[in-house]
Amino acid sequence: MTNILDDIFAAKKVELATTRRETPLSEVKDKIGDLQDAISILDVLGSGEGTKIVAEIKRRTPFKGDLVEQFDPLSIARTYADSGASAISILTESRFFGGQLEFVEQIRKVVSVPLLRKDFIFDEYQVYESRACGADFFLLIATMLDKNQLKDLLDLGREIGLTALVETHDEKDIEKAFHAEAELLGINNRDLTTGKTDLEVSRRLLKETSNMDHLMLVCESGIHDRTQIEEFERLGMHAFLVGESLMKAPNISDKLREFTGHGKTQPAG
């Protein structure tokens, strides 16, 4: 029996076959040659004081439906950058999340913070594609990749100047990330097969990463207020990837400033 994550990856494989026919890999590689070097997300998250937020642009999810009525990714990106986001995550999966790869190219022209191409990546073509569209780092979901595949894609990213955010959800995923020598490790509190979110996932898996000073740790999903951020900073998290709480906020700028510690605390919800 398949789950939603299986369905998403199956759809991506069909989509990728079409994309390859329309735009050969050689054309994608040629486009990379005209780009400036990617911004180092590791340097950005590892420097300066204060809470580091990777603010996510996400139109909808297969679990919650549409998150925002008036969806303007460029306007949202500017608000994020102006309100203290350390980086911006951009959902580019179209069928289930309403994203587009073009969003990254468009947003790259209007903000200077690092951009994450967040998608369901399993093929080297998609890694080159991420670099070509102007992303500075890209997502690899450990749950859906075997350890060697994960390492190969991560290493390819390094070769072309991209950092991989390796997303984990359980101890098996953590082992894969260690094998791949990940430097940027995300702990996703959401089970992508069911949509259920539980912050205990981060509390548990942080114990697996203790005494690993080379790892930059990102808490993903389930963050709704400043109190939660302060707890996880004490436990060792370096950054927080937040999407739904920002997209659904009455005032995105105020909510982001709350998360960074530079605004008034708002009620959770």
Report, as residue numbers or ranges, the catalytic residues: 56, 58, 118, 167, 188, 220-221
Other beta carbons within 10 angstroms of residue 105's beta carbon come to: 14
Structure token digits, residue 112: 């200077």
Question: Where does 143-251 have alpha helices with state H?
Answer: 147-159, 171-179, 200-205, 226-235, 244-247
- In order of 65, 97, 111, 245, the CA distances from 68 in angstroms are 9, 12, 21, 11
Distance of CA 88 to the CA centre of its chain: 8
Q: What is the DSSP string of 137-172?
A: EEEEEGGGS-HHHHHHHHHHHHHTT-EEEEEE-SHH
Question: Where does 91-146 have alpha helices with state H?
Answer: 101-108, 124-132
E strand or H helix at 39, and its extent?
none
Compute the distance between CA of residue 33 and CA of residue 25 in angstroms, rounded to an integer: 13
E strand or H helix at 239, and its extent?
strand 239-242
Nearest to 187 by CA among 157, 212, 159: 212
Q: Are 73 and 54 in contact (CB under 8 A)?
A: no
